[in-house]
Structure 1
Amino acid sequence: MRIVFMGTPDFAVASLDALVTAGFDVVGVITAPDKPAGRGQKIAEPAVKKYAVSKNLPVLQPEKLKSPEFIEQLRALNADLQVVVAFRMLPEVVWNMPPKGTINLHASLLPQYRGAAPINWAVINGETETGVTTFFLKHEIDTGNILFSEKVPVDDEDTAGDIHDKLMQTGAALLVKTVQAIADGQYQEIPQSSIDDEALKHAPKIFKETCQINWNQPVKQVHNLIRGLSPYPTAFTTFDNKTLKIFKAEVQEKEPGIQPGGYLTDSKTYLKFACRDGFICAKNVQLEGKKRMDIEEFLRGLRVG
């Protein structure tokens, strides 16, 4: 079975590597174009491209997925199956091309958390479990027939980064299982349940306003927001008239007399912000214009205006 793989970031590399290691015939890799990154704006290659080149796999990096040139190149690969992991939304002319269809690995237990940021929103919403799902692509995003899924627990202190790494490995294994089942013709398609829309939790793209901490909220909700946005794009607040990102924090009981948004510090070991019903004790932070650091190091260099 000839397979074309489509993906871009590190999350997708684990899946591509699992397919190659399992001996599947990956005849082409589609990924994003190289682009400037970092302070120096040096041209950077996507993680998937770096891996593909190391394995001598053919790579295509189309600017536009509907361009006639790319469609012709893709068709020439003569794929039986296309596999998508952390890539762009595909036009129908692309996902409908191979005879065995196009499958996607999504980082949630569909139909819950359809959208661009399923890992972040599962943690922000305080879920105790999430998972990965493989399904066939169709018109509406993340709504195709489900093939397989696998649950993964979310621990109380897990960040989005922790869950990302868990799902990356679990997803890679589930993808191999899915591709093998398709190769063997041993699978069953499960239509996504027609759940009442009010029961569905969504995972839209995260914007800057989502990341600003509202100290009037319950402390558990604020803690989940911090976990769900760490390490990226990161929850933040204003401190000493500058933006302070909080990557890691602990929950503490609130002392009386401190209004939400107020803070306490001994200038050596702790900095804690008051929420509606408790304290968020910052453990790892980054002040605007500074590097990321643990709270003790941050407080040693602190001069509050």
Structure 2
Amino acid sequence: MKKEDLRIVYMGTPEFAVESLRCLVEGGYNVVGVITMPDKPAGRGHKLQYSPVKQYALEHGLPLLQPEKLKDEAFLEQLRAWKADLQIVVAFRMLPQVVWAMPPLGTFNLHASLLPQYRGAAPINWAVINGEVETGITTFFLKQEIDTGEVIQQVRVPIADTDDVGAVHDRLMMLGGKLVTETVDAILNNTVRTIPQEQMQVTGELHAAPKIFKETCRIDWNRPVKQVYDFIRGLSPHPTAWTELHQEGQEPVVLKIYESEKLFLAHEFPVGTVQTDGKTYLRVAVPDGFIGLRSLQLPGKKRLRVDELLRGFRLSEPAKVL
């Protein structure tokens, strides 16, 4: 079968999923339909917002479905009518068996980790939070249990100590598009040799990658310098690590922290103590040193470098973060 004859249905929602769809479309593959999440209200006006994948599909005239429920019979009829040979899933949602088992060549997923490591909703964040020096992308065939199917291909990607999750996300996104088309080619050429995940070589313990909530993003200043530093970059720029700034006689203020630096300096300050010269630096005491705050945001304000923030924000000492 030629790639022009292979009928592909593509499922995805966020920006991460657009690159793989773009590679398929521009590579001449036959994408007969796209499935994405329903529009969601966003912003102060609660105006309905299209997903990035929907935006791309509309711009390129691709047939589109946005089912509320994936087991809805009307949706399943529409999906069957597309007569897909293969389905591809990138950053979408858990599929019921009636959907993933539908096409004769199966359904494969692009996952942003080196499976079986970091199964779950937020693999890029957790890899950076945990201080990993390497991550990657994996294509695998879907089966009932989430992120457990047999691996088709993997690509390893280094993580620098200075990378935040945004940088790693973009790197994996670009490589992911290439891996998706390579995986389709392997399926077309019948050269796929899958490996069960339980047979994959894993160094160290297996880590999960659960969904991240607001409370997950609160900084624990009782942790060592390296762990706090990794935590901040693992949530930057989104969903962003935060803390509460407490000053005497004032209401607590939520600080979002986007960028920090490691300062291994001996001290005897209580954990969470905030130090500043009022002009160029803010730093927070942790057990084995300080975390220097380099880029942060006050409520209702834009993200600023620390020197910019200190020009218009007076910190009254003693101050601490919790």
Please report how far the alpha carbon of residue 237 of structure 1 lies from its aligned counterpart in structure 2 after TM superposition: 1.1
Please report how far the alpha carbon of residue 267 of structure 1 lies from its aligned counterpart in structure 2 after TM superposition: 1.0
2:76 alignment partner, one of 71, 79, 84 = 71
Alignment of 1:46-195 (within 5 A): 46-193=51-198
Does the CA contact (< 8 Å) of 1:254 and 1:274 recur in 2?
A: no
Q: Distance in 2 between matches of 1:139 and 1:208?
A: 29
Does the CA contact (< 8 Å) of 2:266 and 2:288 recur in 1?
A: no
Query: Among the aligned pairs, what percent are the same residue?
Result: 59
Report what 2:281 is aligned to: 270
- Superposed CA RMSD in Å reads 1.5
Report what 1:207 is aligned to: 213
Spell out, residue by residue over 1:226-257, the C-alpha distance to the aligned partner (whole angstroms, 9 max, x if none): 01011111111111411101000111122423
Report what 1:254 is aligned to: 265
Report what 1:22 is aligned to: 27
Does the CA contact (< 8 Å) of 1:236 and 1:245 recur in 2?
A: yes
What secondary structure, in the 3-state scheme, does the structure 1 residue paired with 2:198 have? coil
Matched letter for residue 201 of structure 1 = H
What secondary structure, in the 3-state scheme, does the structure 2 residue paired with 1:133 have? strand
1:7 alignment partner, one of 7, 12, 27 = 12
Report what 2:311 is aligned to: 300
Does the CA contact (< 8 Å) of 2:225 and 2:264 recur in 1?
A: no
2:231 alignment partner, one of 206, 218, 225 = 225
Does the CA contact (< 8 Å) of 2:224 and 2:286 recur in 1?
A: yes
Runs of 4 or more, structure 1, over 3 Å off, are none
Q: Distance in 2 between matches of 1:35 and 1:123?
A: 29
Please report how far the alpha carbon of residue 192 of structure 1 lies from its aligned counterpart in structure 2 after TM superposition: 0.6
Matched letter for residue 116 of structure 2 = P
Q: Distance in 1 between matches of 2:257 and 2:104?
A: 48
Does the CA contact (< 8 Å) of 1:117 and 1:206 recur in 2?
A: yes
Please report how far the alpha carbon of residue 34 of structure 1 lies from its aligned counterpart in structure 2 after TM superposition: 1.0
Report what 2:48 is aligned to: 43
Q: Distance in 1 between matches of 2:186 and 2:297?
A: 46
Spell out, residue by residue over 1:55-98, the C-alpha distance to the aligned partner (whole angstroms, 9 max, x if none): 11101111111100000000000000000000011011000000
Spell out, residue by residue over 1:155-199, the C-alpha distance to the aligned partner (whole angstroms, 9 max, x if none): 001011111000000111111100011011111011112589x82
Please report how far the alpha carbon of residue 208 of structure 1 lies from its aligned counterpart in structure 2 after TM superposition: 2.3
Gaps of 5+ in 2: 1-5, 247-251, 317-322
Matched letter for residue 298 of structure 1 = L
Spell out, residue by residue over 1:123-182, the C-alpha distance to the aligned partner (whole angstroms, 9 max, x if none): 000000000000000000000000000001000010111110000001111111000110
Q: TM-score scaled by structure 2?
A: 0.92
